[in-house]
Amino acid sequence: MTPLHIVNAQLIDGDTPRPGSLLAVDGRIAEIDPTELPEGSETVDAKGQWLAPGIIDLGVFATDKPAFHFGGITRAALMPDAGRLDDPGLVERAAKGGKPDLWVHPVAAATKGLAGKELAEIGMMKGAGARAIATGRARIADSGVMRRILSYAASLGLVTIIHAEDEGLTAGAVTTDGEMATRLGLASAPAIAEAIAIARDLMLVEETGAPVHFRQVTTARGLDLIRTAKAKGLPVLCGITPAHLFLSDTAIGDFRTFARLSPPLRSEDDRHACLAAIKDGTIDILSSGHDPRGPEDKRLPFAEAQPGMAGAETLLALGLNLVRDGHVSPGRLFELLARTPACLLGVDAGRLTVGMEADLILVDADTPWQVDAKKMAAWAGNTPFDGMPVQGRATAMWKGGQRIR
């Protein structure tokens, strides 16, 4: 493998970009700001662009390589709902899905058939390549089952990824209680459904000591519970997607099915609480929630449409909005996008540090472009950000030191 030397870059290895260079040898980062180069090294001029770790998208619902490459995503953690990953053979096959230019890290189903009743073969699936386990699109209602899952996963060194909505409150609902739901006449559920689900699972975490990640926390009351749990030293992480940071439930006006999501969009007050939680460090991971849906799922009456959005291509650009608006530093953004997801999954990536795999992206943070659902690389362009002007994109990518874009 030809050694790679990237020069004239702005390195994202601290809070703010700094001038520097990087040397990758045999697929790993060998030196930062090298003074000597191996013979035959390939030199790439970054021309002042940011050099950052490749994005690790935690919790996608499809292996959509063109969309991931457009968005600067070099690794993706695939949720178990994509193909019912409750069997070691299915997990092993999923792990091979994108190689060599995209690494898919399967997240195994916590229960057989994602039914929430009987534990899946978690140990065997870990041996087949599962990097975490998850409850899937829904939570596990049975507290006894959930307690056993947490205890067993913790004994295997796996994090449990949780969907937090109380099904007794959200059954049949398609949006959040509020003025917009009333105006449109849509079935809705109170936002407290999230906090109720989080509260139960936090008590189980306190009981078992098991590490968990709440994949999306989108309400002020839910985030307050997470803050309290972290202050007590519980092993708790939480995440969010850009949709709940930049959109509120007003986006479903005119019955826009591209804005039908799970969890649903929240009130403007909750949206501002989410931005505050990004800024104060309560939220640990920013992910795309990539869930491409074709016309057969979205060109329907709002209540019949399937929730989900194609988010991989807009994740980086919308994350850069957080930098421009002063909510996070560039370094903190890539903690949200790469470093913390890598730690959760237990992979040697996500940082510009010697010894890490050379999964790298160049980022032009200022180039303007417009989100266009009809031109997206994803196999379906169901984005609630259709038509939105954004800035910033990945211009080059390396996976293990090999150029893939």
For 237-275, write each residue's pLDDT tens digit.
999 999 999 999 999 999 999 999 999 999 999 999 999
> Exposed (0-12), middle (13-18) or buried (19+): which is 151, by Cβ within 10 Å?
middle
Residue whose C-alpha is closest to residue 271's, from 325, 202, 309: 325
Query: Which sign does the torsion angle of CA 238, 239, 240, 245 carry?
Result: positive
Q: What is the pLDDT of residues 168-216, one digit of tens each?
A: 999 999 999 999 999 999 999 999 999 999 999 999 999 999 999 999 9
Residue 82 has pLDDT above 90, yes or no: no
**What is the DSSP pairing of strand 73-78 with strand 160-162?**
unpaired
Task: Give the span between the Cα atoms of 327 and 22, in whole angstroms.
Answer: 28
The DSSP output letter for 111 is B
Tell me what pLDDT residue 84 has.
87
pLDDT class of 393 with cuts at 50, 70, 90: very high
**What values do phi and psi take at 83, rounded to 5?**
95, 15
| pLDDT at residue 98, rounded to an integer | 80
Task: Dig out the tokens for 149 from the structure.
Answer: 């899952």
> E strands of 279-359, at which residues?
285-286
**CA nearest to 384, candidates 292, 296, 301:** 292
Q: Is the pLDDT of residue 382 over 90?
A: yes
**Residue 1 clears pLDDT 90, i.e. is over it:** no
3-state secondary structure of 181: helix
* In the predicted structure, residue 379 carries a pLDDT above the cut 90: no
C-beta of residue 218 within 8 angstroms of C-beta of residue 194: yes
Residue with tokens 């390195």: 11
Query: Which residues have C-beta within 8 Å of that of residue 36, sequence separation ≥ 6?
Result: none
Give the tens place of pLDDT for each residue, 206-243. Answer: 999 999 999 999 999 999 999 999 999 999 999 999 99
Range 285-295 average pLDDT? 96
Residue 118's pLDDT is: 96
What pTM, to 2 d.p., does this model score?
0.96
Q: Domain extents for the chain?
A: 54-351
CB 264 within 8 A of CB 397: no
Average pLDDT over every residue of 305-309: 96
97 pLDDT band, cuts 50/70/90, is: confident
Is the per-residue pLDDT at 85 higher than 90? yes
Instruction: For 327-377, write each residue's pLDDT tens digit.
Output: 999 999 999 999 999 999 999 999 999 999 999 999 999 999 999 999 999
Q: Is residue 158 pLDDT above 90, yes or no?
A: yes
- What is the torsion angle, in degrees rounded to the nearest 10, for the CA atoms of residue 229, residue 235, residue 241 and residue 247? 0
137: amino acid identity, one letter: R
- CATH tag for 54-351 (out of 3.50.50.60, 2.30.110.10, 3.40.50.2300, 3.20.20.140): 3.20.20.140
CA distance linking residue 133 with residue 391, whole number of Å: 35
Q: Report whether 229 contacts 257 (CB < 8 A).
A: no
Q: Are strands 175-176 and 160-162 parallel, antiparallel or unpaired?
A: unpaired
